[in-house]
Amino acid sequence: MTKIAIQGVHGCFHEQAARLFYGNEIGVCECLSFEDLFVALDQGKASGAIMAIENTVAGGLLPNYSLLHKHSRKVKGEVFLRIQQNLMALSGQTIEEITEVHSHYMAIAQTREFFKSYPHIRLVESEDTAKSAADIMRNGQRRIGAIASELAAELFGLEILQASIETHKQNFTRFLILDDHITVSEKDIDKSSICFTLPHKTGRLSQVLSIFAFYDLNLTKIQSLPIPGKEWQYFFYVDLKFDDYGHYLEAMNAVRPLVDELTVMGEYKSYC
């Protein structure tokens, strides 16, 4: 069985996204941090990993861009998951009977509007959405609810008292697939994630972006992060979408003389 490293515990959104990409017949290697994903890969505890990189509500997960640059693992794919937060508890209860709801602080932040209609419920922050659901099942806790994924409710035998309680319904997270066992045919490659640095020269970033436009590359993401130890210098993380792989290669060749450092973090087939 393929084992995939996830950040979080069994039943979390990372596992739900992994199943969306790989299918349901996978095992998971639970990791406490995103750094641990790479440790799991290096130690052979998992054959692949999935890592959240950006969210349509919260924006980019900036530390994860640095992790991508730090480690040599290549991006081999991506998947987008709608983050649907669900209120769940042991079966046979109503929302009115629930006195506390536990979940990760982000899930609580995304659902506060819903709980304004239930002022008797105390919201309690925990380390993980799925773990909150698992604890209810494991301890047989009644009058306690959790905010977690539909997968968590299914795995831990909880009843969903109210589905999709998140404030923003168009809430999607993009996950990157890190798996050296995946081979992507050149004819299928239509997206690339790159990182580059620039010399201090007027208009240099504009010149690089103009080359991307000239070769019909669609810049779908650009993120800058400071370079540690170098004042006012930045890494630029860019996602490029294209229809012609040859044009993409030509653009990379044209860009290289203009940048100080260029790293291709992955070439893969886009999810959509």
Say if residue 173 is exposed, middle or buried (CB neighbours under 10 Å; 0-12, 13-18, 19+): buried
Q: Tell me: the pLDDT tens digits for 79-96?
A: 999 999 999 999 999 999
- Provide the domain limits for residue 51: 3-83+172-178
Q: Is the residue at 205 inside a domain?
A: yes
| Residue 201 belongs to a domain | yes
- The pLDDT, as a whole number, for residue 229 is 85
What domain count does the chain have? 3
What's the pLDDT at 231?
84
- Asked if 194 and 263 sit in the same domain, the reply is yes
Output the average pLDDT for the chain: 95
Residues 156 and 210 in one domain: no
* Same domain assignment for residues 99 and 55: no
- pTM, two decimals, is 0.91
Domain of 249: which CATH number?
3.30.70.260
Q: In terms of domains, do 65 and 90 share one?
A: no
Determine if residue 81 is left, alpha or beta; phi over 0 gives left, psi from -120 to 50 gives alpha, anything else beta.
Answer: beta
HSE at residue 102, side-chain half, CA atoms within 13 A, is: 16
- What token pair was written down for 116? 């304004």
Whether 133 and 194 share a structural domain? no
CATH number at residue 147: 3.40.190.10
Condensed to tens digits (0 to 9), the pLDDT of residues 224-262 reads 999 988 888 899 999 999 999 999 999 999 999 999 999
Regarding beta strands 100-104 and 122-126, do their DSSP bridges make them parallel or antiparallel, or are they unpaired?
parallel
- Both 91 and 126 in one domain: the answer is yes
Same domain assignment for residues 200 and 212: yes
**pLDDT at position 114:** 97
pLDDT band at 57; cut points 50, 70, 90 = confident
* Contact between 83 and 172 (Cβ < 8 Å): yes
Q: What pLDDT was estimated at residue 72? A: 84
Where do runs of H (alpha helix) occur along 87-128?
105-109, 112-115
Q: Per-residue confidence at 200, pLDDT binned at 50, 70, 90?
A: confident
Rounded Cα–Cα distance for residues 130 and 128 (Å): 6
The last residue of one of the domains, among 153, 178, 203, is 178
Burial label for 260, CB within 10 Å (0-12, 13-18, 19+), is exposed
Which stretch of DSSP H or E encloses residue 55? strand 48-55
How far apart, in whole angstroms, are the C-alpha atoms of residue 209 and residue 231? 23
Instruction: Check whether residue 72 and residue 106 sit in a common domain.
Output: no
167 lies in some domain? no
Final residue of a domain: which of 109, 129, 162?
A: 162
Domain end (from 178, 210, 237): 178
119 shares a domain with 90: yes
The 10 Å Cβ neighbour count of residue 206 is: 8
Residues 95 and 67 in one domain: no
Average pLDDT of the residues in 131-146: 97
